[in-house]
Every structure is written in structure tokens, then in C-alpha cells.
């Protein structure tokens, strides 16, 4: 087996390993379940979407990839995107799923040694899951405050890059157009992956099939544990909402801490003025409160 090699980035050195598995079924087709199943089978570091894009350097790479591959984006460049570019995100993983599906064919070309798993589900159940769990949480008032307002002010690229990838992938200008085009894009996705993969490289799979076909395809013994069924829609929605609410509370508290001294001082001054007029000691009250706030 090829040995890992070192890849230098602006802020760190990562060790690049051969890519073994590309699970390229679309998001919300069981990518979390597949990631857990592959880990049980002994594959290390399966990249799964947002939770694994933890390094700030990854987002500019994915944004550049979107500009290279999605002509409908206003930022489209069509510039070459090499395996070394992909390695900056995926080079330390044995496999990739979820967010990788948006770049399915380019990743298959970049990692020809990787086996391809294509997880599929009924298009209508997929659409309903995407609408509730992904589109409605990536757009909407909470997402607007976190991504468009706070994210831009803080220089956070994650949420905005995910939006950009989805708009480019679905060839859409907004989330409404994503919804209108989604079913057709879903079907075309599977056609494209099938056309790009040789028969011996590809497993077409549904998570309901369990361990059998997956283990046979990968040459692994069947584990003596139930097949994982992870990241169900209601759990994902609740997790995203909790994370967004926590972030908004943190921001609100930060704003409140900055504004509160001024508000209290204004109230104190007003009360002090009133007390001074009524009893003649207003300035002392204001000075005392100011010392406590300082």
C-alpha cells in the first residue's frame, strides 16, 4: 500500500493517505450511517460533511472547488483543480461521504484508486428530508443572522461556502430555485456517477440492505453488531436548531454586555437627576453606580 506523504499548507502539515472509499450518494441518503459502518469495518477517518470540515483552511479550498466546477456561479473560473488541491481537505481521510457528493465525478477522477459506493433512496422521501433538514436550516431568519450578518462580520466562511456549493450544484440563484430543480438534479447525479464508474468499482446500495452487500463489495467480514442507522431527520433538525440558538444566545449576550453599562448609566443618570431634584443628592448616586460598573 502507498505510504502517506506530507502535504504542507499555510498553517500546518497534513499527512496524505490513499483514498480508499468515496461514498457519493447525495446528502440525506444515509451518509452518516455509511460513515459509521465504514468506521466499524476498520476504515479510519471517514470525512462526513460539515462536522469534519473543522479547519478554517478547508473552506477556501471548497469555495475554490465550487468556482472551478459550477459554471452557473457568478464567481465561476473554470480553473483546473488538482488532486493536490483536493488533498488539502480529504488527504488525511480513508474515505469521504456527504459533502463529497457535490463534487462526485471530479473526486472520482482525482482518486481513481477509490472504490465508489452509491447510496440511493426514494426521491420523494429524499426531497422531504432535504427540505426540512438542509434547505430550511441553511436559509431562513436564523441562518441569515448567523451566516449573512454575524458570519460576514466575523469572517466565518463555513455557512456561506455551503450555500455557494449548493447553489452551484443545483444551478440555482436562490433556495426556491433549488427546490424546483432538486428532483431532476437528484436523478442526474446518479446517472453521472454510474456513467463515470466501471462496474467493478461501483456498489449501488440502499442502507436497508445492511451489512451483506457492503461487506462483500469491500472484502470485509460481516461484523457481529447491528448496522448503524444514524442522523435521522428529526435529530438533525433538532441538533442544528440547538446549535443555531446557542450561537445566537452567545452573540446576544455579547451585545448585551457591551450595551448594558451605557443603558444602566443612562438610567442611573436619569434617576439621579430626579433624586437630586427631589432630595438633593442625585450626583452622589450617579458617581456611586458608575464606580460599581467600572
Which of 171, 157, 145, 147 lies closest to 249, judged by CA?
Answer: 145
The 8-class DSSP code of residue 3 comes to P
Q: Strand, coil or helix: what is 227?
A: coil
Give the β-pairing of 21-23 and 115-119.
parallel
- Rounded to whole angstroms, the Cα distance separating 174 from 166 reads 10
Give the β-pairing of 95-97 and 202-205.
unpaired
List of residues 6+ apart from 190 with CB closer than 8 A: 118, 120
Structure confidence at residue 142 (pLDDT)? 80
Is residue 66 within 8 A of residue 168, CB to CB? The reply is yes
Residue 75 scores a pLDDT above 60 = yes
- Rounded to whole angstroms, the Cα distance separating 92 from 188 reads 30
Structure confidence at residue 290 (pLDDT)? 45
Give the pLDDT confidence of 126-174 residue by residue, as tens digits.
Answer: 999 999 889 988 898 888 887 888 778 878 888 899 999 999 999 999 9
- Rounded to whole angstroms, the Cα distance separating 273 from 277 reads 6
Average pLDDT estimate for 177-189: 98
Tell me what the pLDDT averaged over the chain comes to. Answer: 82
Helices assigned H by DSSP within the chain: 31-40, 49-52, 58-69, 83-90, 104-110, 123-130, 136-138, 141-143, 152-154, 158-169, 175-196, 211-218, 233-279, 282-293
- Rounded to whole angstroms, the Cα distance separating 31 from 100 reads 10
Structure confidence at residue 275 (pLDDT)? 47
Is residue 22 within 8 A of residue 95, CB to CB? The reply is yes
Give the pLDDT confidence of 44-74 residue by residue, as tens digits.
Answer: 889 987 666 667 788 999 999 999 999 999 9
Average pLDDT estimate for 255-272: 51
CA torsion sign for 208, 211, 214, 217 is negative
User: pTM of the predicted model, to two decimals?
Assistant: 0.76
Amino acid at each position: 500500500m502507498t505510504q502517506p506523504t506530507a502535504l504542507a499548507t499555510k498553517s500546518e502539515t497534513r499527512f496524505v493517505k490513499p483514498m480508499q472509499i468515496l461514498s457519493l450518494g447525495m446528502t440525506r441518503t444515509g451518509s452518516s450511517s455509511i460513515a459509521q459502518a465504514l468506521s466499524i469495518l476498520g476504515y479510519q477517518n471517514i470525512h462526513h460533511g460539515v462536522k469534519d470540515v473543522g479547519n478554517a483552511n478547508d473552506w477556501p479550498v471548497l469555495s475554490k472547488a465550487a468556482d472551478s466546477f459550477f459554471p452557473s456561479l457568478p464567481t465561476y473560473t473554470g480553473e483546473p483543480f488538482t488532486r493536490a488541491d483536493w488533498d488539502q481537505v480529504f488527504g488525511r481521510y480513508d474515505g469521504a461521504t456527504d459533502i463529497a457528493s457535490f463534487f462526485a465525478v471530479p473526486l472520482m477522477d482525482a482518486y481513481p484508486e477509490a472504490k465508489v459506493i452509491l447510496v440511493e433512496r426514494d426521491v420523494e422521501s429524499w426531497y422531504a428530508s432535504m427540505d426540512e433538514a438542509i434547505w430550511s436550516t441553511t436559509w431562513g431568519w436564523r441562518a441569515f443572522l448567523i451566516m449573512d450578518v454575524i458570519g460576514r462580520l466575523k469572517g466565518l466562511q463555513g455557512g456561506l461556502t455551503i450555500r455557494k456549493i449548493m447553489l452551484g450544484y443545483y444551478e440555482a440563484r436562490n433556495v426556491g430555485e433549488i427546490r424546483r430543480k432538486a428532483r431532476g438534479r437528484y436523478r442526474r447525479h446518479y446517472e453521472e456517477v454510474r456513467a463515470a464508474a466501471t462496474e467493478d468499482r461501483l456498489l449501488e446500495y440502499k442502507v436497508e440492505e445492511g451489512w451483506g452487500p457492503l461487506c462483500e463489495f469491500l472484502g470485509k467480514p460481516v461484523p457481529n453488531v447491528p448496522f448503524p442507522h444514524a442522523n435521522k431527520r428529526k435529530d438533525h433538525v433538532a441538533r442544528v436548531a440547538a446549535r443555531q440558538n446557542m450561537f445566537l444566545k452567545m452573540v446576544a449576550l455579547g451585545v448585551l454586555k457591551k450595551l448594558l453599562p451605557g443603558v444602566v448609566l443612562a438610567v442611573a443618570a436619569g434617576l439621579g437627576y430626579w433624586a437630586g431634584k427631589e432630595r438633593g443628592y442625585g450626583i452622589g448616586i450617579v458617581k456611586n453606580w458608575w464606580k460599581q460598573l467600572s
